[in-house]
Amino acid sequence: MNRRMSSRNVTLTSTFLLLAAGGAAACDNGGNDYQDEGFYCADADGVVVDEDYCDDDGGGYLGGGYYIWHSPRYRSGYPVGYKLPTGGSRFAYNDAAARSRYGLSSSGRIGNGTIKTSVVGKGGSGTGGGHSSSKSGG
């Protein structure tokens, strides 16, 4: 017994499959919160300073007023004195827990322009998770 599908059934089945595939793709993209994130040592205004100011391992500056700024918008290569693009977040250079959340060393020097890949979450929240690798731009 051969049953042929009518053109209406074929159209409806094709439309359903396309919608289902599109919905699955949208769900997949929405769940991917991993991104590259750039890190810099900067002052309270977001002006890049020498990374030694954010080295808390004894050899660097041991005062306040310096932060590790981060954002997916930051790229490697910004020189000392450069005002970082808006939209970044910061944490105290000696905040070991925040450093660890972003996959950075919990203490010591972090090279300006370090790019961490697969950082969880969006920049701007001050929270986040793991990493898979890093590149230093400085």
Give SS3 for 27. helix
Instruction: Give all strands (DSSP E) within 1-138, no chain letters.
Output: 34-43, 66-71, 89-92, 114-120, 133-135
With cut-offs at 50, 70 and 90, classify the pLDDT of residue 130: very low
Q: DSSP letter for 92, please.
A: E
DSSP classification of residue 31: T
pLDDT digits (tens, 9 = 90+) for 59-113: 545 567 899 999 999 999 999 999 999 999 999 999 999 999 988 988 888 899 9
- pLDDT tier, 123 (very low <50, low <70, confident <90, very high otherwise): very low
Q: What is the dihedral of CA 30, 36, 42, 44, to 10 degrees?
A: 0
| CA-based nearest residue to 59, from 26, 16, 107 | 107
pLDDT class of 118 with cuts at 50, 70, 90: low
Write the burial class of residue 125 (CB in 10 Å: 0-12 exposed, 13-18 middle, 19+ buried): exposed
